[in-house]
């Protein structure tokens, strides 16, 4: 048949990093993306790129990695970007297969979000 897709004949391990790269590029460029749902582990490298894109996003409000089974290594690559995005309102990490090794990183995300909510409440009360 005619031309084949660039991912034809590739394994999931080959395709997921490419998909992650493209998703990260879109997240970084988009001015209107409000919600992002990623239900698969894209691999450590792609998750790091996605984390950087999430950190830079001005429009993103919700990120969900529900049931992605990403594990500690991919979460570790991603977490700094999630923590740095001041615009995120909701982060879903259920079903990510995180262990005690990720406790401190999860707690840092919760603390960062709680701190932002306190500042927002204080700013609202100034008006």
Extents of the domains making up the chain? 12-126
CA atoms of 22 and 28, how far apart (whole Å):
10
Distances (CA, A) of 19 to 6, 70, 105: 11, 15, 25
What angle separates helix 44-56 from helix 71-84, to the nearest 10 degrees?
10
Structure tokens at 5: 């897709």
- Predicted TM-score of the model (pTM): 0.80
Positions of E strands within the chain: 35-37, 62-64, 90-92
Q: According to the per-residue pLDDT averaged within each range, which of 17-21, 32-36, 108-112, 120-124 is highest?
A: 32-36
Looking at residue 127, its pLDDT comes to 66
Q: Which tens digits make up the pLDDT trace of 27-41?
A: 999 999 999 999 999
Q: Which CATH superfamily is domain 12-126 in?
A: Ribonuclease Inhibitor (3.80.10.10)
- Output the average pLDDT for the chain: 89
Q: Which tens digits make up the pLDDT trace of 76-98?
A: 999 999 999 989 999 999 999 99
């Amino acid at each position: 048949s005619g031309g084949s897709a660039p991912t034809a004949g590739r394994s999931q391990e080959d395709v997921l990093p490419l998909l992650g790269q493209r998703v990260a590029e879109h997240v970084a460029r988009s001015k209107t993306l409000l919600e992002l749902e990623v239900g698969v582990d894209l691999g450590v490298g792609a998750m790091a790129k996605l984390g950087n894109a999430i950190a830079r996003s001005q429009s993103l409000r919700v990120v969900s990695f529900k049931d992605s089974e990403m594990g500690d290594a991919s979460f570790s690559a991603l977490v700094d970007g999630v923590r740095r995005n001041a615009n995120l309102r909701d982060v879903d990490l259920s079903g990510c297969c995180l262990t005690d090794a990720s406790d401190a990183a999860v707690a840092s995300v919760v603390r960062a979000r709680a701190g932002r909510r306190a500042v927002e409440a204080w700013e609202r009360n100034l008006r």
